[in-house]
Homo-oligomer: A and B are copies of this chain.
Amino acid sequence: MVHSFDIEDDGGAEAAPQGGRIRQRNKARIIAAAEKVFAERGYDGATTAEIAEIAGLAKSNVHYYFGTKEAIYREVVAGIVDLWLKAFGEITAEDDPATAISAYIRQKLLYSRKRPLASRIFATEIIRGAPILRPFLEADLRDWVEDKAKVLAHWAAQGRMDEVSPHHFFFMIWAATQTYADFASQIAAVLGHKRLREADFEEAIATVTAIVLKGCGIRA
């Protein structure tokens, strides 16, 4: 029974950091370590021992804070969903299409740059059939897309962009932006770089933005 991602229900103010100082610090360390391990080993490949080691704690101590490995995973995933929700950004009918979509693409791509691990965990979770994230996808994300579909329809009616399937429009943007996190090793290999650089991301932003805007008939 997942279904609730209101991790700590921060009632308006900044997240209520519950628990003592030590607890807080250690939980954060564990989550950070877990993000790394889950990202590069997958759920089954990850071991609580390695998470503990990276976090600088004894394995039994990790189990003291999180009962099970799955509990750690759930919390990591919940944090990632939070990121997604924030990265959603605001796209409203009043916005200028070019500005709003450009900003959205840039935001998504910068997120791929800054949080590639999170993006990869999200990807593998989806590939596995989204056992944990299904509720989020079917409710929150779906609603968000339906909402934005109306915005796109509005813009199209005003002649400010072509009529394109809003769903597939977003699938395409998500894919084109997340690929720079998930498939970074492929992209780096093809580019002949060891790792992706700042300039690679800038060129990605430019190319994706240009193709998407022009491809949908959005004028600056």
Contacts and interface: CB of A to CB of B under 8 A. Distances in A.
Interface residues of A, number: 59
A4 interface: no
A23 interface: no
A99 interface: no
Interface string A183-215: 101110111100000000001101110111111
A192 B134 CA distance: 12
Interface in A122-181: 123-124, 126-130, 133-134, 137-138, 141-142, 145, 162, 164-165, 167-172, 174-176, 178-180
Most chain B CB inside 10 Å of its own CB: which residue of A142, A168, A183, A192: A168
How many copies of the polypeptide does the oligomer hold? 2
A182 interface: yes
A40 B130 CA distance: 10
A20 to B, nearest CB: 35
A124 B126 contact: no
30 contacts: A41-B44, A44-B45, A123-B127, A123-B183, A127-B182, A130-B185, A134-B185, A134-B189, A137-B186, A141-B190, A164-B211, A167-B187, A167-B190, A168-B203, A169-B211, A170-B190, A171-B179, A171-B190, A172-B176, A172-B179, A172-B207, A175-B175, A175-B176, A210-B215, A211-B212, A211-B215, A211-B216, A214-B215, A214-B216, A214-B217
Interface of A: 39-45, 120, 123-124, 126-130, 133-134, 137-138, 141-142, 145, 162, 164-165, 167-172, 174-176, 178-180, 182-183, 185-187, 189-192, 203-204, 206-208, 210-217
